[in-house]
Amino acid sequence: MPAKTLFIVQLFERSGKCLIGGRALDFRTAKEVAPKAELASTTAVEAVAIQYTVDTGIGEVMEERNVPQRFGKKVA
């Protein structure tokens, strides 16, 4: 059961009154995620840093996603 940790910045855009998921950016380390998410939040409505632990053998998420940081306008 080979496991891999993924570090992702998910961008969100506004479409009318709705908030929709935009591009997802993948990074190699946790140290890269926070600065890139903060930078991306200047052009997107919101950017969320997410960490996944995935079983690469079957492609299943082993650990629930962790949202350690959010940047941009906080939308409820």
Q: Please tell me which residue, 35 or 73, carries the higher pLDDT value.
A: 35
Count of H helices and E strands in the chain?
Answer: 1, 4
Q: Containing domain of residue 11, as a range?
A: 3-72
Phi and psi for 69 in degrees, rounded to 5? -145, 145
Catalogue the E-assigned strands of 16-74: 18-27, 46-55, 60-72
For residue 66, pLDDT beyond 70: no
Q: How many domains does the chain have?
A: 1
How confident is the model over 6-31, as a mean pLDDT? 87
The whole-number pLDDT of residue 75 equals: 56
